[in-house]
Structure 1
Amino acid sequence: MPERSRERAITVCVENGEARLSMRDVALPPLGPREVRVRTAAVALNYRDIAMMSGKSIDRPGRAYIPFSDACGIVEAVGDGVTQWQPGDRVCSLFFPEWIAGSLSPESRRPLGAGRDGVGQTAFAAAEQALVAAPPHLSAIEAATLPCAGLTAWNAVMYSGVAQPGSVVLVQGTGGVSLFALQFAKMAGAAVLVTSSSDAKLQQARMLGADGGINYRDNSEWSLRALSMTDGRGLDLVIEVGGAGTFAESLKAIRLGGAISVVGMLSGAVEPIDIRHIYGKNARIRGITVGSREMFEAMNRALVQHQMHPVVGHVLPWEEADAAMEAMQRGDIVGKIVLDFGVA
C-alpha cells in the first residue's frame, strides 16, 4: 500500500459553545517506537458521541477534536520495537488505550475522542498495546461495534457476579449496549427481559432471544410488571442505561441482594432517589465505564467460541457522519450505527 502524507478526518468544531461536524485534511505524522498505524475500515457510533457534541459530557474539549472511539481497521505500518502486530492484521481500537488490566485508574482514564483525538479519520496511530485483534468471524463493520458498546455490556453482565443459569436479567431498550447485554446474558444462561416504548422493538428483541418484554409506555411503573413476571422475587440484575426516570424503578424491581449495572444516562443524569430502596434491598450498584484490554480479549474469546454476531442496525458511508449522528439522536434504529470507510 503506497505511503500517504495526509489523511482525511471528521472533526468536531466548537464555536461559542455550539459543536458541528466538518471534514478536514490532517497530517500523517511518522510512527514512534512501539506505535502502529491502522487504516480505518469502519467506525461505530455511541450515545457518548452525541453527549460530547451537545455538551452533556464533561469530557468534551473546548477545542476542535476528532471524535469517535470505536474502530476496526487493518494494520498498515509498524514502528520500531513492535512485536505483536504486522501489516495486514485486523485490529480494533481500545476505548481506554492505557487500561490494560485490573481496575480503572486516574492515569488510565483517558478515552479516545475526548482528551485525545479519536478514530474518526481514514488512518490513525495507536500504541502497540492499545489495539486488540478483531474476531476472525466478524466483518469489519461488526467488529467496530465492540470497543465501547460490546465491552461495556460484557463488563456489566459477565462481571456482575449474578448472570448465570436460573437468574433473570433485565436490559433497558434496544440500543447497542442493551442488545449486547441481551446476547451476553443469554450466553451466560440467564433469562432476559427487555423494556422498550415500542412493541415492534420488543418483538425484535424476542427474535434475538429475549424471554419477555415490558412496554414502559403502557407500564410507567414497570417495576411492578417485572416483579409479576418473576413471581414476586425480583430481578437478579438490571442493565441500567436510562438514568433519570428509570433508576428508581430499577431499584424497586431487583430482588433482595440484586444488582444494578449503571452504564448510561439516556434520559438524564439527575433524579431524586429514595435511599431506603438501596439499603432495604441490599442493592449492589456498579458504575460501568467500558472495560480493560484484558476484558476485551476475554470477550473476543467468547464471541469466537459462540460464533456470536453483533446487531448492526444501520450502515452509512463515513462521509455521511452527520446523517449517522442524526439517526442516533432519533433513536429509531435497533442495534448499532456504523460508518463504512470502504476498506475491504
Structure 2
Amino acid sequence: MRIFQLAAPGIDNLVRTEQKDGTCEPGPGEICVRLRAASLNFHDYAVVAGFIPVAPNRIPLSDAAGEVIACGGDVTAFAPGDRVMTTFYPAWQDGRPAPHLTRLITGDRNDGYARDKVCAPESWFTKAPAGYSHEEAATLPCAALTAWRSLIEEGRLKSGDTVLVQGTGGVSLFAVQLAKNAGARVIATSSSDAKLARAQALGADHVINYRTDPQWGVTAKEIIGGEGVDHVIEVGGPQTLGQSIAACRVGGHIALIGVLTGVSGDVPTAEIFKSQLKISGIGVGNRRQQQDMVRALEASDIRPVIDRAFDLDDIQDAFRHLESQTHFGKIVLTF
C-alpha cells in the first residue's frame, strides 16, 4: 500500500513509503475504504508548504473518495461495495460549529488520505452522489460543501437572487452552478478573460475582469440596476472585502470563505452598518450538511469542473500545478 508523507515542509519533501495491506483492518464501528481519488484544496497546499505546522511525517489530503471493502462490527451506514467520500471535519456531525468539533481535520491534526487504503470510523464518511465518478466525488467535501453552506445553509438562497463570485477556484465554480441550479443570477470575477469566458459557458450571466476594473464591486451593483447583489462569495479577504461590500444591496449577505490577500486589514465598518450587511465566516460544513448536499446534487445536473488529473505517484507535480494558480476548477489525484 502506497503512502505519501510530508518529511518536512515543502512540496519536494512529500515522500512515498510502503505499508503492508494487513495493517489496514477495520475495528468496531470502522470501515476500510480502498481510496480511488483525492482532490487538492488550498488548505492541503498550506499544510504541505509549511504555512500550517503539522507533526513530522504527516500524511496530507483532506478530501478523497473510494469504495468500502470491509466493515467492522457495529457498522450500520455502509456495506462493502458502497461508494463513499470523506468529510472535512470528522467530529462535526451536525449542529453549530464548536472548537472541539472543528479542531480535527484530516491531513492536518491527524493523517489524511494520500494513501491507497484507510480504516476509520464510519461517521467520517458519507455516501458519494449516485452516478458520480470517484474523481468527481473527491472534489466535493471541502469546495462544494463550502459553496453549499455559504449559499444554501447560511445565505438561504432563493430563485431570483443575485450572486457575485470571486475567481474561478473550486468553491467559486461550485457556487456558480449551485446558484444557477437554484434560479439565481450570477456575476463572476477573474483577472483572466479566458477564465471568464469559461465561467460564462458554465452559466455565469455577467463577468468582470477585476484587474482591468478595480471598482468591480461598484460595477456589479450597476449591473443589477444600482440595487446591489444579494450574496457574495468572498475568497480574497482584506483587499477585496471593500468591493464586496460596495457590491451588496441593503441587507445583503457576504460569505467570507478565504483570505488569499491576507489575514487582516482595514474594514469599512460604517458601510457594513449603513447597508445592514450580514457577513458569515464559512469554514466548510458538517456531515449532515454534506448529506443534504449529496441529495441535492443527485437531483440536479451539476457536475464538478475538473481541471486536471494526476496519478498519486505524481503528487508533487499536482501541488506545483495548484501553486501555479493556472488551473480552472479542481485538481485531482487518481489511485
Q: TM-score range by the shorter chain?
A: over 0.9
For 1:117 and 1:188, how far apart are their aligned partners in 2? 36
Q: Which amino acid aligns with 1:90?
A: R
Aligned with residue 74 of structure 2, among 74, 81, 86 = 81
TM-score, length-scaled by structure 2: 0.95
Q: Greater shift after overlay, 155-164 or 173-182?
A: 155-164
For 1:192 and 1:306, how far apart are their aligned partners in 2? 18
Deviation at 1:331, TM superposition (A): 1.1
For 1:308 and 1:190, how far apart are their aligned partners in 2? 15
Map of 1:323 onto structure 2: 317
Deviation at 1:244, TM superposition (A): 2.8
Aligned with residue 16 of structure 2, among 18, 23, 40 = 23
Q: Secondary structure at the match of 1:237?
A: strand
Q: Which amino acid aligns with 1:84?
A: A
Deviation at 1:18, TM superposition (A): 8.9
For 1:81 and 1:94, how far apart are their aligned partners in 2? 20
Compared CA separation, residues 77 and 18, structure 1 to 2 (3 A): closer
Contact 1:66 1:118 in 2 (8 A): yes
For 1:179 and 1:123, how far apart are their aligned partners in 2? 29
For 1:312 and 1:252, how far apart are their aligned partners in 2? 32
Map of 1:56 onto structure 2: 51
Contact 1:19 1:53 in 2 (8 A): no
Contact 1:14 1:62 in 2 (8 A): no
Deviation at 1:19, TM superposition (A): 7.5
Aligned with residue 36 of structure 2, among 37, 41, 54 = 41
Q: Secondary structure at the match of 2:78?
A: coil
Q: Secondary structure at the match of 2:290?
A: helix
Deviation at 1:183, TM superposition (A): 0.6
Map of 1:105 onto structure 2: 98
Aligned with residue 61 of structure 2, among 32, 44, 68 = 68
Q: How does 1:179-218 map to 2 (within 5 A)?
A: 179-218=173-212
TM-score, length-scaled by structure 1: 0.93
For 1:235 and 1:20, how far apart are their aligned partners in 2? 44
For 1:18 and 1:78, how far apart are their aligned partners in 2? 34
Contact 1:257 1:284 in 2 (8 A): yes
Q: Secondary structure at the match of 2:154?
A: coil
Aligned with residue 118 of structure 1, among 94, 104, 112 = 112
Question: Does 2:85 match 1:92?
Answer: yes
- What per-residue deviation string (whole Å, max 9, x for no partner) do you get for residues 174-225 of structure 1? 1100000111111111100000001111110010110000000111121111
Ranges in structure 2 where 5+ consecutive residues have no aligned partner: none
Contact 2:24 2:117 in 1 (8 A): no
Deviation at 1:63, TM superposition (A): 2.0
Contact 1:137 1:307 in 2 (8 A): no
Q: Secondary structure at the match of 1:68?
A: coil
Q: Secondary structure at the match of 1:108?
A: helix
Bigger share in helix? 2
Deviation at 1:51, TM superposition (A): 1.6
Contact 1:163 1:189 in 2 (8 A): no
For 1:161 and 1:327, how far apart are their aligned partners in 2? 32
Aligned with residue 166 of structure 2, among 166, 172, 188 = 172
Compared CA separation, residues 272 and 135, structure 1 to 2 (3 A): same
Give the paired residue count: 332
Deviation at 1:14, TM superposition (A): 2.0
Map of 2:129 onto structure 1: 135
For 2:13 and 2:264, how far apart are their aligned partners in 1? 26
Q: Secondary structure at the match of 1:183?
A: helix
Aligned with residue 307 of structure 1, among 285, 301, 316 = 301
Q: Which amino acid aligns with 1:35?
A: E
For 1:197 and 1:118, how far apart are their aligned partners in 2? 33
For 1:18 and 1:306, how far apart are their aligned partners in 2? 37
Map of 1:3 onto structure 2: none
Q: Which amino acid aligns with 2:112?
A: G
Map of 2:147 onto structure 1: 153
Q: Secondary structure at the match of 1:41?
A: strand
